[in-house]
Amino acid sequence: MASILLSWDSSGQWGFSFGAIGVLSACILWGIDNNFTRNVSAKDPLSIVAIKGLSAGTFSLILSVILGFPLPSFKFVLLAMVLGYFSYGLSIVLFIRAMRELGSARTSALFGTAPFVGVALSLPLFRESQGTLFFLSLPIMIIGAVFLLKEEHEHLHKHETTEHEHRHNHNDSHHTHGHSDNEIPKNGHHSHVHGHEFIIHVHEHAPDIYHRHAH
């Protein structure tokens, strides 16, 4: 609804531009990518981001060469790598860690609140006047994001017997395996191959790596 208001043409005409199709396609592909990434979110985030970054970078480089774009200067490459480290590498590592605990939909919704920060910064920086539709659509977007982030539920569900490795602690009912003295670090988080027994229980949960069951 907010997107419709923001793109409303004062002449009252409706239509699809080539740019709009591009934006929709990017959103669909991002959603597919997030769901694929969620399925491997229990793996090492650094390895996942390294593979994704090298794959995307290699594709972009080959495409640029095919299209005839000149290679940038070494200084520009270094600056791009520094920017990419924070805006892509580090952010995606945190994004994958969030997927473990929140699932793909909630993580994407939380990640999608970043434009609100951009909007808040752009108002004092560019000092462009905003129309009525902007102020009508902004609360709608905020309400939608809050609904996605605050959704909670609990019901009877089961966990099948499984064995895997990922970073975890023993503050929940899913990690009841034992350890010898001084084997767990002081912060409680550690990683090793461990098993989960079959269990049926009821508790409030999110679609994290332990709760991927259907509804």
Domain extent listing, the chain? 17-111, 154-205
Longest Cα–Cα distance of the chain, Å, equals 73
Residue 191 has pLDDT above 90, yes or no: no
pLDDT digits (tens, 9 = 90+) for 193-206: 888 888 888 877 77
Q: Please tell me the distance from the alpha carbon of residue 134 to that of residue 114, in angstroms, as a whole number.
A: 17
Per-residue pLDDT band for 213 (boundaries 50, 70, 90) equals confident
Q: How many CB atoms lie within 10 A of CB 52?
A: 16
Per-residue pLDDT, averaged over 128-137, amounts to 84
Q: What percent of the chain has pLDDT over 90?
A: 10
Per-residue pLDDT, averaged over 178-186, amounts to 75
Q: Please tell me the distance from the alpha carbon of residue 145 to that of residue 107, in angstroms, as a whole number.
A: 11
Where are any strands of DSSP class E within 47-186? 153-159, 162-168
Q: Please state the separation of Cα 113 from the chain's center in Å.
A: 11
Q: Please tell me the distance from the alpha carbon of residue 148 to that of residue 168, in angstroms, as a whole number.
A: 25
Per-residue pLDDT, averaged over 88-103, amounts to 84
Q: Which of 175, 174, 176, 177 is nearest to 157 (CA)?
A: 174
Per-residue pLDDT band for 76 (boundaries 50, 70, 90) equals very high
Per-residue pLDDT, averaged over 41-54, amounts to 86
Q: What single DSSP character describes residue 202?
A: E
108-122, 134-148, 180-194, range with the lowest pLDDT: 180-194
Where are any strands of DSSP class E within 29-159? 153-159
∠ CA 127-86-66, nearest 5°, is 95
- Tell me which of 108 and 86 has the higher pLDDT: 86
Q: What percent of the chain has pLDDT over 70?
A: 95
Is the overall model pTM greater than 0.85, yes or no?
no
Residue 75 has pLDDT above 90, yes or no: yes
